[in-house]
Structure 1
Amino acid sequence: MRRPVPVFLPALLLALTVLGIVTVRLVVYEFGGPTARRKAVTVPPVDGVRITSMTVYSGRLPPCPEPAFDDYGHHDDPVIRPLPTGGPGISATYELHNEDTEVFTYTIRFMFLAGTIQVGAFTDEVVRSVRPGATVRGTVRPETQDPYTCPVTRVKVAEVTKVPDSELPPPPERCPPSGLRLTSDHTAAMGLRVVGLHLQNCGTDDYTLDGYPLLELLDTDRSPVDGARITHGSGGVSGISLPGSGFDEPAHPLVLKPGESAVSELAWRTDTPIVPYLRVRTQPDAAPVTLTLRLDLGTTGTLAVSPWKLPP
């Protein structure tokens, strides 16, 4: 049964809205059950990003569902009362202000929480080409809204990364003025991280490579990281100095004709804290490309890099 709403309440809310007083919108689903409520937020900004309002559950909330087991240790799906699925849905509105002097593209990582428990995966919002002094507003929603999960009660900004547009990896459909397109992939296994760098000659001239990618590890403010070591070859990073891995093969000059590609690999053992950025150059005078890789190699770890080679 739905909660009865007094007849005077809509008129009162309308009057207060005209006066600029109302900043909260309530959507009531069921008497005594959870409700989705939009409320104003005054949390300080995180790296220029501030959540201004959120629509989350409130009221009498059901507990987070937990798997049940019978006396024999077999999984027994409990009967879980689903959350309401009507209304506006869970979301948060945010503002992003670029306080720098360059044009940046931002990646904002949001967490949806039930108290202190994260509900679902991170949700990443990419905000492109924000000019200096500009403010951009947006709305974020969880990637999935499963009614058989914990009720989201708050949203927070978990992380903000940003790269100058002049150093962004180009999109697949565009060839940059340098004629070179640099991209990356990422795999992980048992504490060992491996990233592949892929360089494609998308221009009209031959391009010569000789040796290794030129790398810089950058901190949250994109300043060089002190202490971490970049080594050519396996460099003592356990698990990669195996025959056929390519890390300890000698470097050879390569000539990439238009349309051809080269690859290099990076590897490290996991540690904390995380180094968010890696700046890559193909030659000392080449335009840099900054990749947001979140390298969890710590401040004293070793990053191994293999020479450029043709893909298999």
Structure 2
Amino acid sequence: MRRAFLSLPAALTGVVLLGACGPLEAGAPGAGRAQRQGPACRDAVAPSGAPVSSASPASPAESTGAEGDGVRAVVVDGCPAFEVTNEAARSFTYTVTYQVLTTGGVARAGTERTVATVGPGRTVRRTVDPGASATGADGGARLKIVKVRSVPAAEAPAETGPCPSSGVRVYADDGDAAMGLRVVGLHLANCGTRAYRLDGYPSVRLLDERHTAVAGVRVLHGGASIATGTGADALPRPSVLEPGESARATLVWRNTTGLGSEPVDAPYVRVVAKPGAPAVTVTPELDLGTTGKLGVGAWQKDEASRAPR
């Protein structure tokens, strides 16, 4: 079973009514359903301190409920879109999860879109084309912003694409969940040209939605105190990853919630693979309940697969 995403705070969740791209003339064939005419929807990027360039300015969405974390829903030339504005002092990479719904409220499959390396003071626009199958009987569609996550661009995970300057990729998988038990894999792939040595446990730091360190959670080596048979119980041992080889460590926790305490959520985990390695911030969405502990397994070489170069 795959883990369900955590629910988003109200400030980051909303539904906006959006017209399909391009005008639809009254009485024309197909009136009452969406037809796209005119120029195609386009993405736009603004230089620092300047508005987003576009043939037509963006109009705010009818609902402001979709705004949050520098992301807002807009309409440009009749096209639904969202804008990401970085008000921080360093570059961030944003991941926006949204759904397109028919006017009858039927949700289409969720879509996750990453907007990489948005510099300080910059605004980036990404269009959302609902497509004919997602429109309602009146030619409209609704865009629901489900979740917004952001990590420092210098610490963004790189599962694919060019090999990072460190020579390794570090990223988290989607994990598994069953009966309140959560298991997420941390993966390290040697995409460089030199051998990479590992020995021990990754160092992890839990961060909340505002990227503030989460207090009151014990980080334990191994997962036996939480559950057995998760893959987090093996003792650490030295290993050498040749180019193309990979390793895995495991995060284990339960989301049990007891009375008298507030549940703890930590969407971000800052991972340092070994002493001196650059940090990578992943988003495993830790819903720790009131358990107050997280198990971290040692790095184990993946003997069965080879990482892409």
Pair 1:144–1:220, CA change in 2 (3 A)? farther
Q: How many residues align?
A: 251
Q: Which amino acid aligns with 2:61?
A: V
Q: Which has the higher contact order (CA 8 A, sep 6+)?
A: 2
* Residues 153-179 of structure 1: per-residue CA shift (max 9 Å, x gap): 532323211111110123534222222
| 1:143 to partner: Cα distance | 7.8
Task: Report the 3-state secondary structure (helix = DSSP H, G, I; strand = E; otherwise coil) of the residue aligned with 2:154.
Answer: helix
| 1:214 to partner: Cα distance | 0.7
Could you say which structure has the larger radius of gyration?
Answer: 1
RMSD: 3.5
2:245 corresponds to: 260
Cα distance between partner residues in 2 of 1:141 and 1:220: 28
* Residues 241-291 of structure 1: per-residue CA shift (max 9 Å, x gap): 13xx54222211223333332211122223566422111111232100111
- 1:213 equivalent in alignment to 2:202: yes
Pair 1:311–1:141, CA change in 2 (3 A)? same
Cα distance between partner residues in 1 of 2:302 and 2:199: 15
Cα distance between partner residues in 1 of 2:264 and 2:131: 27
- For structure 1, the residue ranges without an aligned partner over 5 or more in a row are 1-23, 56-87
- 1:292 equivalent in alignment to 2:283: yes
* Residues 94-130 of structure 1: per-residue CA shift (max 9 Å, x gap): 2221101111111112233467956123222221221
After superposition, where does 1:157-306 map in structure 2 within 5 Å? Answer: 157-190=145-178, 191-238=180-227, 241-242=228-229, 245-270=230-255, 274-298=265-289, 300-306=291-297
- For structure 2, the residue ranges without an aligned partner over 5 or more in a row are 1-21, 37-58, 257-262, 304-309
TM-score, L = length of structure 2 = 0.68
After superposition, where does 1:1-312 map in structure 2 within 5 Å? Answer: 28=26, 34=32, 41-44=61-64, 45-53=67-75, 92-113=80-101, 117=105, 119-142=107-130, 145-146=133-134, 154-190=142-178, 191-238=180-227, 241-242=228-229, 245-270=230-255, 274-298=265-289, 300-312=291-303
Task: Report the 3-state secondary structure (helix = DSSP H, G, I; strand = E; otherwise coil) of the residue aligned with 2:225.
Answer: coil
* Residues 211-264 of structure 1: per-residue CA shift (max 9 Å, x gap): 1111111111211112333211124323xx13xx54222211223333332211
1:60 corresponds to: none
Q: Which amino acid aligns with 1:258?
A: P
Task: Identify which range, 114-123 or 167-176, moves more after superposition.
Answer: 114-123
* Runs of 4+ residues over 6 Å off in structure 1: 147-152
Percent identity for Structure 1 against Structure 2: 40
Please tell me whether the aligned partners of residues 227 and 300 of structure 1 are also in contact (alpha carbons under 8 angstroms): no
Pair 1:292–1:253, CA change in 2 (3 A)? same
TM-score, L = length of structure 1 = 0.67
